[in-house]
Amino acid sequence: MISNIEDGHTECFLPKDLIKDVITNVKIFPIQLHFIGDKAYVPCDTKEFPSGTEITAIDDKPINNVRQTLFKLLSSDGSIETEKYIKINDGHDPFSYLYYVVYGEKANFKVSYKTLSGQLLVKTLHADYFNNMACPPMKIKINQYLHTEYKPDHVAIMTIGTFASDLMEKTKENFTVFLDTSFTELMHKKIEKLIIDLRDNGGGDDTNGALLYSYLTAKPFPYYTSLNSNKKEVKDHPNLTIQQPKENNFKGKVEFLISGKSFSGAAEFSSIAKSNSRGLFIGEETGGGYYGNTSGSKITLILPNSKIRVNIPLYKYVMAVKKSQYKDRGIIPDYTIVPTIQDFIQHKDVQMDLAIKLMNERK
């Protein structure tokens, strides 16, 4: 039901004691697969498969049919699927757990797969507990969200990993200071080409997106056209006023790196930059919608019998953007590039490589 609402901020969560019980007592599919498009792969070496092995079916169900069935359980903005890939691959809603929810507990799994040489084979895998799962999603501790580095030929890369001020407080970073210092430095260094990396930015404070764009334009600009709940229209939000450019705004060429993790406030910022044709977008469709979202304050319901927790956002944010080709999608890149399984295994950043290549080719 929640998935069909098509709102990425509306989510439900099992009670903690039930999650703990599943982790401790339920045997599941023993490998965390990595999905790319309509295919699934083993992302690390296991005792059964070498890394990069393609799984074509489980229990005679084609893997893409399985993916489509599991995706029906995952919430996202509109018909965007990139965020669902993030959830199923990176541990928010891991594949093995979803497979158990849909198909039930099994002692064994009949797995059809394709070897690295292209041979089609079948193998039986024994179910195992969560803590014994092969290729579990990596947990990365973040020590820095904001960073600027300089490349040859007057190219700079600005990484903005979040718009959430509370997260930046934990890493002792100040977004306002970072932007003012960085863009002043870009000016002094005579940087002409800027790549802004938003691929890990899940959003955060509303005003931080507008603040970032104020450093990328020389003209006043609108950000939100409206903000309201089902009870009232908000009129005093800072993003509802015409935004003013900063004096040290960047006038050079810009590229934006985006992904399915670029959600909420990061998608809001991207929609403004895209609508105003500020630069090229490279990577994968944002997880957040182009026209806006429902987010902000929320209420949390605890269902009385199951104790499932349901988060319901209360405010509708509408962006000041031009009409798009799609009514229910995110920001679509000018250059869509999805890392292959070998790129993933070898930690190749093909999206950044393309961004730098394209930037160096621009006059």
CATH of residue 35's domain is 2.30.42.10
- Alpha-carbon gap, residue 266 to 201, rounded angstroms: 6
Question: Same domain for 244 and 156?
Answer: yes
- Establish if 7 belongs to a structural domain: yes
- Alpha-carbon gap, residue 330 to 327, rounded angstroms: 9
Question: Do 243 and 222 touch, CB atoms closer than 8 A?
Answer: yes
CATH number of the domain bearing residue 164 = 3.90.226.10
- Establish if 29 belongs to a structural domain: yes
pLDDT reported for residue 92: 86
Question: Same domain for 116 and 214?
Answer: no
- Alpha-carbon gap, residue 48 to 305, rounded angstroms: 41
Domain interval for residue 184: 146-361
Angle at which helix 95-103 crosses helix 82-90, to 10 degrees, equals 100
- Establish if 101 belongs to a structural domain: yes
Question: Do 351 and 199 touch, CB atoms closer than 8 A?
Answer: yes
Question: Same domain for 152 and 194?
Answer: yes
pLDDT reported for residue 226: 98
10-residue stretch averages of pLDDT, the chain, 363 residues long: 95 93 95 98 97 98 98 96 96 92 96 96 97 90 96 95 97 98 97 97 97 98 97 96 97 98 98 98 98 95 96 97 96 98 97 96 80
Question: Same domain for 153 and 195?
Answer: yes
pLDDT reported for residue 97: 93
